[in-house]
Amino acid sequence: MTRFALSVLTAAALFTSACQAQDDRVDLTDADTPTVAETLADDSFREVPDNRAQMQLSFAPIVREAAPAVVNVYSTRTVQRQMDPFFNRFFGQQGPRQQGSLGSGVIVDSTGVVVTNNHVVDGADELRVVLNDRREFEAEILLADEQTDLAVLRIITDEPLPAMPFAQPGTAEIGDLVLAIGNPFGVGQTVTSGIVSALARTEVGVSDFAFFIQTDAAINPGNSGGALINMDGSLIGVNSAIYSRSGGSNGIGFAIPVEMVRRVVDAALTEGELVQPWLGARLQTVTGDIANSLGLDRPRGALVADIYPGAAAAAAGLRQGDIVLAIDDVDVNDEPGARFRYATRAIGEASRFAILRDGERIVLDVPVEVAPGEAEPARRLIEGRNPLAGLELVELSPAFNQEVGFDPFARGVVVMSIQRGSAADYFGFRPGDRVLELLGTRVEEIDDIEGLLDGQDGLKSWPIAIERRGRRQDANLEL
């Protein structure tokens, strides 16, 4: 087959031709015939349209294939009415009411597996999915993850449903043509077009793993959970947020990349839960000043500022002062980007880190592991005649710290609760206080405290140091 120059728009015509040929039962499996995806992957075929015929090409063939896999997601939740007692006196106690919300979703498996945003289904008592051919189904939540703002549903049906394929990870480029499909403002399924405006946006702050594809394809309320697709009709991202002061589209929309979408869907179908890996390295974005101090020609990568003993980073041989340049062959520009790339791997796999150490580029295989410790450690109550009596304490660990929002690297002993009327209550301890020192001795674990308390029943003066809201406080407690 003779190769010819093909613009991005011309891919739609090739897609139409392929569909027509398939309908005529013509064998197109010749190894010499490039597929649409192969053609688009070849940069030499990407050209600007240069004639009237090319400008009149249409996205319709791509939309016909992709649109049936994009659904409307209706969620219903029960909320309690909050009314002033004055009104209740005259109108009676108001009971709970039903509150509905609308979003979009994408069928990614013909068995009825749907991916959408977590905020679309959060707190839902009932879920209903409506296909673009107006068929309606009930759905159940397989997995909902607040950190990634993704949720996976299963449509309750035995019939096969149209599904959208995932795009190959890392193939999206700035300037690529994309289509956004969803249900903005509840008006019905809508398709908008645009380009990939930027990649690796980490300043959005919509989820804990902020790493978004930015697009100028119009995205509005109701598009959340809908599809962002490429010219191959494959899913490159799930539309999640917009930048807007008015609530409407201002040409800046954000989509969660397909790498994270696939990870969450795989976790829902295999593990039933999404366990986030923990690198165990504190990373810092390389600024211009840091680059100059390290002798770099320009700011790039993420600097390893600290290593947690025994964590994955330490096991792989990462060191303080290393600069992470790339993860799994994708360049890293900052700390959020590095966290995102590492988080797209499943527990038990290995991630390939390219680092710069003493001017030399080194590649390390870093195991993907969970944070050490227990997310819900057992509490221990302090008893006896001492000013700490009545404290319920737990030992900090990366797993627990992540669960409650502490610094993952923080160690030591923290107060979880105080028994009312106890000595600790009298002396003003508060939940969240971290015990740093007792009787002039540094505290690392609960056993340290209990050892110091042992045999001190007659002691009158108790010097102690705690950390409260990030500030150290020293006191001498008198019994």
- What percent of the chain lies above the pLDDT cut of 90? 51
In this structure, are 230 and 312 located in the same domain?
Answer: no
In this structure, are 255 and 308 located in the same domain?
Answer: no
In this prediction, residue 336 carries a pLDDT of: 85
DSSP class of residue 407 equals: -
Range of the domain at 351: 281-367
Q: For residue 239, tell me if it sits in a domain.
A: yes
In this structure, are 133 and 261 located in the same domain?
Answer: yes
Q: For residue 374, tell me if it sits in a domain.
A: no
E strands present in 146-296: 150-155, 177-182, 190-201, 212-215, 227-229, 235-242, 253-257, 281-285
Q: Verify whether residue 101 is a known catalytic residue.
A: no
Catalytic residue among 7, 75, 145, 149: 149
In this structure, are 21 and 70 located in the same domain?
Answer: no
Catalytic residue among 104, 119, 197, 433: 119
In this structure, are 71 and 138 located in the same domain?
Answer: yes
In this structure, are 216 and 299 located in the same domain?
Answer: no
Mean pLDDT value across residues 108-131: 91
- Kindly tell me if the per-residue pLDDT of 250 is higher than 80: no
Catalytic residue among 75, 224, 249, 422: 224
Q: For residue 84, tell me if it sits in a domain.
A: no
In this structure, are 149 and 213 located in the same domain?
Answer: yes
In this structure, are 50 and 66 located in the same domain?
Answer: no
In this structure, are 160 and 270 located in the same domain?
Answer: yes
Q: For residue 92, tell me if it sits in a domain.
A: no
In this prediction, residue 26 carries a pLDDT of: 39
Q: For residue 86, tell me if it sits in a domain.
A: no
CATH number of the domain enclosing 454: 2.30.42.10
pLDDT digits (tens, 9 = 90+) for 159-217: 999 999 999 988 888 999 999 999 887 788 889 999 998 887 766 555 555 678 899 88
pLDDT digits (tens, 9 = 90+) for 416-427: 999 999 999 999
Q: For residue 37, tell me if it sits in a domain.
A: yes
In this structure, are 114 and 240 located in the same domain?
Answer: yes
Q: Verify whether residue 58 is a known catalytic residue.
A: no
In this prediction, residue 189 carries a pLDDT of: 87
Radius of gyration of the chain (CA): 28
In this prediction, residue 198 carries a pLDDT of: 85
pLDDT digits (tens, 9 = 90+) for 97-108: 555 668 899 999
Q: For residue 3, tell me if it sits in a domain.
A: no
User: 């505290």: which residue's tokens?
Assistant: 443
Q: Which of 77-86, 118-127, 440-449, 458-467 has the lowest mean pLDDT?
A: 77-86
In this structure, are 345 and 397 located in the same domain?
Answer: no
In this structure, are 236 and 321 located in the same domain?
Answer: no
- pTM over 0.85? The answer is no
Nearest of 257, 277, 132 to residue 206 by alpha carbon:
257
pLDDT digits (tens, 9 = 90+) for 353-380: 999 998 899 999 999 999 998 888 989 9
- Kindly tell me if the per-residue pLDDT of 474 is higher than 90: yes
Q: Verify whether residue 119 is a known catalytic residue.
A: yes
Structural domain total, the chain: 4
- What percent of the chain lies above the pLDDT cut of 70? 81
Q: Identify the band that residue 28 occupies on the pLDDT scale cut at 50, 70 and 90.
A: very low
